[in-house]
A and B are shown apart, each in its own frame.
Chain A
Amino acid sequence: DVKVTQSSRYLVKRTGEKVFLECVQDMDHENMFWYRQDPGLGLRLIYFSYDVKMKEKGDIPEGYSVSREKKERFSLILESASTNQTSMYLCAIRSYGGNQPQHFGDGTRLSIL
């Protein structure tokens, strides 16, 4: 079974804080993705990575950065959290090659107060 683990299911932080969301996989997959999910807007891609130390901007990278120092871990960083970053954050992984599906973690519901 594919296992994608997000470090927290629920997280509450304050405006201006630096926030780290962690995603860990045990499948040795090359590609990792961060999305946010908001009612009425569906899933929006923030950043993705196709190898260690590689990163690419998705559709809405503003206010976020990422880190991939090891293959199994992909971190999403909110440099200075704002209330409009309150959302559900989903991590996904995918094996390289062909049109392999993405597999998702359980999500982190982040509230910024």
Chain B
Amino acid sequence: GEDVEQSLFLSVREGDSSVINCTYTDSSSTYLYWYKQEPGAGLQLLTYIFSNMDMKQDQRLTVLLNKKDKHLSLRIADTQTGDSAIYFCAESSDYGGSQGNLIFGKGTKLSVKP
């Protein structure tokens, strides 16, 4: 079945850029999402990209999509301690279907050191 893979941990220094990577297997993926989860909270939608795009930028966030390699990345510029959280990659593979089920990766825990 479909699968989404992420590395489990990433540690960076405050002010550096963070790059969180994700690979997926479903070639029919239409939208890919990044969610952020702070300790003890639910998932917050950060950004998403349509599969016919290769890049999307939103303030400090840059999403890159390599559809050929099924690789998605999230770059956070000037990483701050408030960016410490778990980041989930997710893909949606039903073509505008009514159900909107997502396949999630296991999440990457980002630790930002002062």
| Chain A residues positioned under 8 Å from B55 (CB to CB) | none
Contacts of A41 in B (CB 8 A): 106
Let me know if A99 and B41 touch, CB within 8 A. Answer: no
A-side contacts of B92, CB under 8 Å? 99
Task: Give the residue among B35, B41, B45, B100 with the most A Cβ atoms within 10 A.
Answer: B100
Residues of B bordering A, CB below 8 Å: 30-31, 33, 35, 40-45, 48, 50, 88, 92, 96, 98-102, 104-107
Assess whether A104 is interfacial by the CB under 8 Å rule.
Answer: yes
* A42 pairs with B99, CB closer than 8 A: no
Closest chain-A Cβ to B4's Cβ sits at a distance in Å of 9
Tell which of B30, B104, B105 has the most Cβ of chain A within 10 Å: B104
In the complex, chain A residues 77-111 whose Cβ is within 8 Å of any chain B Cβ: 90, 92, 94, 96-107, 109
A16 CB, nearest partner CB in chain B, Å: 27
Chain A interface residue count, Cβ-Cβ cutoff 8 angstroms: 30
Contact of B100 among A4, A40, A90, A94 (CB under 8 A): A94
Which of B42, B43, B48, B105 has the largest number of chain A CB atoms within 10 A? B42
Minimum C-beta distance from A32 to chain B (A): 10
Q: Given A42-B107, A43-B88, A97-B96, A102 and B102 touching (CB < 8 A)?
A: yes
CA distance A41 to B107 in the complex (A): 9
B38 to chain A, nearest CB (A): 10
